[in-house]
Structure 1
Amino acid sequence: MKPDARQLYLARMQRVLDHVDAHLDADLSTEALAAVAAFSPFHFHRQFAELFGISVHRYVQLARIKRASLALAYRKTSVFDVALDSGFGGPEAFARAFRQRIGQSPSRFRDRPEWAPWNAALAPLEQARSQSMTPTFTDADIRIVDFPATPVALIEHRGDPMAIGDTIRRFIDWRRANGLPPAKSATFNILHNDPDTVPPEAHRIDIACAADRVATNPHGVTEGLIPAGRCAVVRMTGPGDDLRAPAHFLYADWLPRSGEEPRDFPMFVQRVKFFPDVPANEAVTEVYLPIQ
């Protein structure tokens, strides 16, 4: 297959993934999604499964469950409201599918999520998204900015990155208690190391938001600072769970030929728009590499 033909083919499949993300409560049958890609419905289910390693039905089901589970865990939306918005056709069907895939009832997950089975259940979805649709970047995507000194409230997550969900929940609870929702206070992650290159117990990421002062609190939130300085920035649109592609481009491609030197502060990201507040394909993450 010619490179341009392959890119056109993948672009048609990307339309399908974007459509799923934007219409999780709509008709996402194989026939409907084949029409989005302008492929024959007689072959589309095999095309999709061979490309992504997962059936259309399971992909859609897992995408719906992921949105629902994050609304339950992080937004603490009522189970009934989540069920009505889930795309499963009603509370009973939603609860049955949720328990089958996640191993907990929706109400139990809302109160005390078990992240290990959650990660395992959603792994095929994440693998499908990254297998053939890894985002690519060019030097034209890079901006050099003077980032202002930004006081932040932060909570450290140390240890297994797969267990970060409870840390996020504690930070969200602190933000709610202090009236600092994402619409009012910018959200950041400070990436102290690469989880792929350190043992789980050595992994550290700070979850942060812009805030001038932090009072003593039971959530483990403390004061911090993102210092002023020059940064190379690349914007990623789409699911922001996996930052390997922009990080690889910045470190392996752009930095060696840029003539720039890294500054003594970790890479960090700003979550401009994030899932489940917007559809996954509309999420926006800006990745900052501090430079001298």
Structure 2
Amino acid sequence: MPSPNRELLLLLAVVNSRLSGDVSLPVLAAWAHRSRFDLHRRFRRLVGETPKAYTVRVRLARAAAELVSTDRRVSAVALDHGFASPEVFTRTFTRHLGQSPRAYRARGLHVAGRRAAATHASTTAAVAPCISLYHISTTERKAAVPLDISVRDLPTFHALVMRRRVTRDEIATALAECLPTVFGYAQRHGLAIAGPPFARYPEVGMGSLVIEAGVSIAAPPSTAPDDGIEALTITAGRAVVAVHRGPYDNLPATYQQIEKWIREQGLSPAGPPWETYLTDPGERPDPATWETEIVQPLESAPIRRPVAAPTDPGHP
């Protein structure tokens, strides 16, 4: 029988496929075969928003991305994303994003080019529904599976992050708070999102760790971010890369496999590891299909002796 969280993820997948239609609370309750009160309570506990707030936020995020990546009329964008009229769209858009749809489009993204705009639009559409759902527990622990581990040369990338010191049990809560904040900041300021959300672990201790949660962007912002958000640049270099497949609950086993592989290869870690959430729980509700890319930077030259691998960040 599906866990309570997975039941809601199945519902979210339906919602996100019909965001231009009626997804009001009565309709959702009927789909879920629950009372309105019970669904509202469960939904808010998992997602961190009411069903109405969630629907409006996701519709606005997708519409805003379309405004800066296409030349379609504002009225057409509004109707395609489920707003009753262009007037309702304009009022809602202005209230949430601080300027009208036309002004938002006129300002554009902080980098030019169709490729950056297209990547921003596709990433935003995929990430918006589940930005607060990474690292949720599904209570579906399974045996570790063999990993495809490789060493790659990674390019420099830029990001926006929020930094928090947390205990291991607080990682999921920190991500649920930080990622939506960073994502919303990038959208309001027209920063071109270049990839899925990620979490980096610059400091790991026995009792707590430091987590940097955010999204990659196409280029550094022209002004220093505020609201507790920081610009981050991770320089190019060699790294061990592996893709974890399955629930987030099983991530510790994957980290252990990577650490063992690094030791066996005589390689030396250099710098904090990070994990990128390739799969969106709000779009794909089956935890067995979730993919998380784990990256551990390496020193430029291999060291042919056993070395201490990075401490497992201790995922919940």
Please state which band the TM-score falls in when normalised by the shorter chain. 0.5 to 0.7
Letter aligned with residue 202 of structure 2: H
Question: Which of the numbers 153, 174, 198 marks the counterpart of 2:207?
Answer: 198
Deviation at 1:225, TM superposition (A): 1.2
Residue 204 (structure 1) shift: 2.5
Residue 135 (structure 1) aligned to one of 144, 148, 152: 144
Q: Relative to structure 1, is the Cα distance of residues 152 and 212 closer, same or farther in structure 2, using a 3 angstrom cutoff?
A: same
- CA 1:81–1:157 in structure 2 vs 1: closer, same or farther (change >3 Å)? farther
Which residue of 173, 186, 194 maps to 2:184? 173
For residues 238-270 of structure 1, the C-alpha deviation after alignment (integer angstroms, 9 at most, x for no partner) is 33465212211111x21221111111x101122
Distance in 2 of aligned mates of 1:147 and 1:169: 26
Of 220, 239, 247, the residue aligned with 2:247 is 239
Change in 2 beyond 3 A, CA 1:177/1:185:
farther
Aligned: 1:153 with 2:154:
no
What is the match of residue 229 of structure 1?
237
Partner of 1:81: 23
Instruction: State the Cα deviation string for residues 136-173 of structure 1 (Å, max 9, x = none).
Output: 224xx111101112122222233332431121221121
- Measure the CA separation in 2 of the matches of 1:104 and 1:150: 34
Structure 1 residue 249 corresponds to structure 2 residue 254? no
Determine helix, strand or coil for the equivalent of 1:89.
Answer: helix
In the alignment, the residues of structure 1 paired with residue 33 and residue 277 of structure 2 have an alpha-carbon distance, to the nearest angstrom, of: 34
Q: Does the aligned pair in 2 maintain the 1:192–1:266 contact within 8 Å?
A: yes
Q: Alignment partner of 1:185: what SS?
A: strand
CA 91–249 in structure 1, closer or farther in 2 if over 3 Å, else same: closer
What does the per-residue CA deviation read over 1:59-103, in whole Å, with 9 as the maximum and x for residues that have no partner?
Answer: 35431224657999xxxx7996275886x6347726344356578
Structure 2 contact 244–254 (Cα < 8 Å) conserved: yes
Give the direction of change, closer, same or farther, for the CA distance of 1:168–1:186 in structure 2 (3 Å limit): closer
1:213 is aligned with what amino acid? Answer: P
More helix by share: 1
Instruction: Kindly indicate whether residue 214 of structure 2 is the aligned counterpart of residue 272 of structure 1.
Output: no
39, 47, 54: which is aligned to 1:98? Answer: 39
1:126 matched to 2:128: no
Say whether 1:62 aligns with 2:5: yes
Q: SS in structure 1 opposite 2:247?
A: coil
Unaligned runs of 5+ in 2: 55-134, 300-316
Q: Please say if residues 157 and 216 of structure 2, whose CA atoms lie closer than 8 Å, have aligned partners that are also in contact.
A: no
Aligned to 1:11: none
Distance across 1 between alignment mates of 2:204 and 2:250 = 11
Secondary structure of 1:243's partner? helix
Which residue type is aligned with residue 171 of structure 2?
P
Q: CA RMSD in A?
A: 4.1
Question: Are 2:3 and 2:138, in contact at CA under 8 Å, matched by a contact in 1?
Answer: no
* Equivalent-residue separation in structure 2 for 1:276 and 1:269 (angstroms): 18
Q: Does structure 1 retain, via aligned residues, the 8 Å contact 2:13–2:283? A: no
2:173 matched to which residue of 1? 163
- 2:195 aligned residue: 185
Give the conservation status (yes or no) of the 8 Å contact 1:193–1:203: yes
Aligned to 1:8: none
Query: 2:196–2:276: 8 Å Cα contact kept in structure 1?
Result: yes
Distance in 2 (CA, whole Å) between partners of 1:158 and 1:278 is 30
Alpha-carbon distance between aligned partners in 2 of 1:170 and 1:105, rounded to the nearest angstrom: 17
Cα distance change on mapping 1:289 and 1:192 into 2, 3 Å = same
> Could you list the runs of 5+ residues in structure 1 that have no partner in the other structure?
1-55, 113-121
Whole-angstrom CA distance in 1 between matches of 2:172 and 2:35 = 25
Which residue matches 1:44?
none
1: CA distance, partners of 2:7 / 2:247 = 14
Find the residue that maps to 2:30 and give its secondary structure: coil
* Structure 1: distance between partners of 2:155 and 2:48: 42
